[in-house]
Amino acid sequence: MKTFLRICSRLSWNRGFLGFWMALLLSTALSAGPEIYSKVEIGVQSPADIARLQQQDITVEHFRFNPQRGIELVLNQEELARLDAAGLSYTVLTADLAAAYRDRRPPTAAELEVGRRIMAGDNIEGFDLGSMGGFYTYDEITAVLDTMYAHYPSIITQKVAIGASVQD
């Protein structure tokens, strides 16, 4: 009986300890908010500078290169901190890309008409601009995919849930 009570008391303590850490981790994840991405221009002068970025675990797969100024990359805040540690000179071009896209002015009627004429000339139908600076939001693109599935079930499949995430 003593052994049983000892095991129960250990399990109770472990459950409480585990519950505390799970609650702490969950509250941290939920309070974090959406991740902020910034567009930066990095004064890369040589392949060694690219290697320094890679050593700091900064992905340099998709970038825009300008021979006079260096490269433009989109980085999250964690990568931006690692860029500081790399010691390379850089300029933040856009601090919050999501806000910049969201705050873009809507296209004028004249700009929309030019776009419509170009699409008509190229036989493009059924395309609209999204509400986030002309780009689709997540909700908008999922609605478009649902509509495409409803109209063309032989060429597009229904969405499949692949799991949940703590991200927004």
Domain boundaries along the sequence of the chain: 1-33, 37-101, 105-151
Class of domain 37-101: alpha beta
CB 52 within 8 A of CB 86: yes
Pull the structure tokens for residue 128.
Answer: 């609209």
Say what the pLDDT of residue 7 is.
Answer: 55
Please list the alpha-helical segments (H only) found in 43-168. 47-55, 77-86, 97-102, 109-121, 138-151
Is 100 strand, coil or helix? Answer: helix
pLDDT reading at 135 higher than 90: no
Q: Residue 137 and residue 98: Cα distance in Å, rounded? A: 10
Q: Residue 28 and residue 15: Cα distance in Å, rounded? A: 20
Lowest mean pLDDT among 29-38, 83-92, 151-160: 29-38
Question: What confidence category does residue 93 fall into, taking pLDDT thresholds of 50, 70 and 90?
Answer: very high
pTM of the prediction? Answer: 0.57
Say what the pLDDT of residue 108 is.
Answer: 86
| Tokens 């000339």 sit on residue | 121
CB 80 within 8 A of CB 38: yes
| 27 alpha carbon, distance to own chain's centre | 21
Range 89-94 contact pairs with CB under 8 angstroms and sequence separation of 24 or more: 89/42, 89/43, 90/40, 90/41, 90/42, 90/43, 91/40, 91/41, 92/38, 92/39, 92/40, 93/38, 93/39, 93/40, 93/41, 94/38, 94/39
Residue-wise pLDDT for 146-158, tens only, equals 999 999 999 999 9
Question: What confidence category does residue 90 fall into, taking pLDDT thresholds of 50, 70 and 90?
Answer: very high
Residue of higher predicted confidence among 46 and 154: 154
Q: Residue 37 and residue 59: Cα distance in Å, rounded? A: 14
Pick the closest to residue 73 from 52, 94, 87, 45 (CA basis): 94
Q: Residue 59 and residue 83: Cα distance in Å, rounded? A: 11
